Structures are given as structure tokens and as C-alpha cells.
Amino acid sequence: MPKRKGNEAEISTAVTNESKRKVIKRKRKIKIEWSSLFRFSVMLFFVGIIVFHYYLITENALITYYQSFWGQNKEFLTPILIITGYTLTIFLIGYWLGKRR
């Protein structure tokens, strides 16, 4: 083995398996996150509702719009409001009674 000169380190000239391997880059598959997509669509829906109501307020047509909407859909909206009101009333009574115990 030859003597080293000073602080020089020996450099290996052996070919390793790591240098022979080719690096294969694979494309990432795009994964759809349904929860974030749903959250984005709900937020977009609420922004649309806010913008629509702002437009109706600036045109002074908010009350007339809802009066005509109620008049056209009265048969459909009345049962929904009755069932929702009944359900919320039962839920709140149960919540208040359960909270007392």
C-alpha cells in the first residue's frame, strides 16, 4: 500500500452499483380530496347567495322577490317549514331537559 502524502484522502475508483442505476422519475397521480372539494363548493355557494342578496338589496327588490317566491312555492315550502320547526322544537326541549340533569 502506498504511503499517503499529507492530509490527502484516497479516492476510490471502484464502480458501485449506485452509479449504474438510472433514476426513474414517476409522475405523481393526482388524488382528488373530496372533502376539500365539497368544502370549496359549499363556500362558493354561500358566496353566491351573499352576492345575490346584495344585488337584490341594491335594487330595492329583496322584499318583492321573496313575496313572489313565497306565493309561487307556498304548497311546497309550508310542509318543509312545519317539519323543520317541529323537529327543532323537539330537539331543543330534549336538549334543555337533558342539560338540567
Whether residue 41 is contained in a domain is answered as yes
- Which residues lie below 8 Å from residue 77, measured CB to CB, with a gap of 6+? 70
Question: What pTM did the predictor assign?
Answer: 0.52
pLDDT digits (tens, 9 = 90+) for 53-101: 999 999 999 999 999 999 999 999 999 999 999 999 999 999 999 998 8
Return the pLDDT at 20: 61
Q: Which residue range is the domain that position 77 belongs to?
A: 32-100
* Domain membership flag for residue 49: yes
The count of structural domains within the chain is: 1
Angle among Cα 27, 17, 8 to the nearest 5 degrees reads 115
Give the cell for residue 61.
327588490
In a domain, 24, yes or no: no
pLDDT at 30: 78
Residue 59 forms part of a structural domain: yes
Taking only the tens place, the pLDDT of each residue in 23-48 is 677 777 778 799 999 999 999 999 99
